[in-house]
């Protein structure tokens, strides 16, 4: 196995949890090279098991040089960025025709662009270009990965000619909590929100929902875990909500979540969310947090429905939501179900199928 990985992300938490963690489990690391922007070098130097695998580029010229240097030696060349894929595809036709290209669909770039930008002719044209690029990636990659079965079904229906070789969700590290410890650590009527305050995360709707819950359950407490503390404070003040707000390092999140009983994860029922695999869902489950969730979140909404875990949020039937919360305030068998589901989505279960060990 000789693998060259190209990633342009500067989000170290995502890089750590969804790429470096499974890579660190692979025994044959000597034949893996990972091309990253130099600006994150200090942040990834902590991954000692992979220190010999990192290659950092400083600018576009240097990046092309390294793509040529390592791409010509690789059996597989992997990326999860559609722009990187198009660049690599062009280079492959000239310099490394025998290298297999692997594209990992972790999201839909064109749908995300549509969501973030107002509708006009220019933005519509840009979105169409991104969609064409993703179609090309789906049809021209030698190996295609995706994060959910919903995503797989969409790609096959939308882009027609192509094959999904593996569905590999966003996974979590191995679970090391005991059920009894989680139950003892819980604050019975404690709610938590984890994540950014981006529009698509629906934080303001979460706060509106929590306010209604606290009117029926006065002893309810809320903790908001986000890096956008000032924005969170502003929204909470505008809604007359008292909450604890904190910003945590990635390694601190599990311990914080384990203190809470309920966690919010609301999304609009739109394409971008329908094909997603939000790691927040599994982080809640791993910590024994009962998700209060909406319909259409990747494979997870249906998983919760079929497994009878979590509380489905229906804005037209708020009383039902509140009644379900009240029925679960006394912590019981839910934690068993939550941990069992989460244990099926750990990297130690998936890493052997990751990055072509079993093509």
pLDDT tens for each residue of 42-85: 888 877 778 889 999 999 999 999 999 999 989 999 999 999 99
Mean pLDDT across the chain: 89
Domain residue ranges in the chain: 3-172+347-354, 179-343
Reported as a pLDDT band with limits 50, 70 and 90, residue 359 is: very low
pLDDT tens profile 104-115 = 999 999 999 998
> What fold characterizes domain 179-343?
Rossmann fold (3.40.50)
Are 146 and 164 in contact by the 8 Å Cβ rule? The answer is yes
Tokens of 325: 């919360």
pLDDT tens profile 280-290 = 999 999 998 99
Q: How far is residue 183 CA from its own chain's centroid? A: 26
Residues in Cβ contact with 179 at an 8 Å cutoff, skipping those fewer than 6 apart: 288, 335, 336, 339
- Per-residue pLDDT at 214: 95
Are 32 and 104 in contact by the 8 Å Cβ rule? The answer is no
Taking residues 222-236, what's their average pLDDT? 97
The percent of residues in the chain predicted with pLDDT above 90, rounded, is: 60
- Per-residue pLDDT at 22: 84
The class level of CATH for 3-172+347-354 reads alpha beta
Distance between CA atoms of 130 and 107, rounded to whole angstroms? Answer: 12
- For the cut 80, the answer to whether the pLDDT of residue 331 exceeds it is no
How many other C-beta atoms lie within 10 A of the C-beta of residue 107?
17
Residues in Cβ contact with 355 at an 8 Å cutoff, skipping those fewer than 6 apart: 3, 5, 22, 23, 26, 32, 76, 78, 102
Q: pTM for the complete prediction?
A: 0.89
The helices-and-strands tally (H runs, E runs) of the chain is 18, 13
- For the cut 70, the answer to whether the pLDDT of residue 141 exceeds it is yes
Distance between CA atoms of 223 and 161, rounded to whole angstroms? Answer: 46
């Amino acid at each position: 196995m000789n693998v060259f990985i190209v990633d342009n992300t500067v989000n170290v938490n995502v890089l750590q949890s969804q790429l470096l963690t499974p890579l660190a489990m692979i025994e044959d690391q000597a034949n893996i090279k990972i091309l990253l922007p130099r600006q994150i070098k200090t942040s990834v130097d902590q991954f000692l098991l992979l220190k010999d695998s990192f290659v950092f580029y400083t600018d576009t010229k240097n990046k092309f040089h390294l793509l040529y240097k390592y791409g010509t030696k690789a059996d597989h060349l992997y990326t999860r960025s559609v722009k990187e894929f198009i660049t690599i595809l062009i280079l492959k036709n000239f310099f490394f025709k025998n290298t297999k290209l692997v594209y990992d669909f972790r999201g839909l770039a064109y749908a995300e662009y549509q969501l973030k930008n107002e509708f006009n002719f220019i933005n519509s044209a840009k979105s169409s270009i991104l969609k064409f690029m993703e179609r090309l990636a789906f049809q021209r990659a030698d190996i295609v990965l995706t994060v959910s079965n919903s995503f797989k079904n969409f790609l096959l229906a939308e882009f027609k000619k192509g094959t999904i070789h593996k569905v590999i969700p966003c996974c979590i590290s191995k679970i090391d909590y005991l059920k009894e410890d989680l139950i003892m650590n819980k604050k019975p009527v404690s709610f938590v929100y984890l994540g950014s305050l981006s529009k698509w995360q629906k934080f303001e709707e979460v706060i509106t929902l929590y306010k209604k819950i606290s009117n029926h359950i006065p002893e309810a407490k809320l903790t908001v875990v986000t890096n956008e503390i000032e924005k969170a404070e502003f929204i909470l003040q505008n809604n007359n909500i008292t909450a604890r707000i904190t910003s945590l390092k990635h390694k601190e999140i599990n311990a914080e979540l384990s203190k809470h009983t309920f966690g919010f994860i609301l999304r609009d029922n739109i394409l971008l969310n329908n094909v997603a695999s939000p790691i927040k869902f599994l982080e809640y489950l791993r910590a024994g947090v009962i998700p209060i969730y909406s319909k259409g979140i990747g494979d997870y909404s249906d998983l919760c429905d079929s497994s009878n875990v979590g509380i489905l949020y229906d804005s037209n039937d708020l009383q039902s939501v509140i009644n379900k919360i009240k029925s679960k305030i006394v912590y019981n068998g839910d934690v068993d179900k939550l941990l069992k589901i989460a244990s099926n989505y750990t990297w130690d279960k998936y890493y052997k199928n990751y990055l072509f060990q079993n093509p």
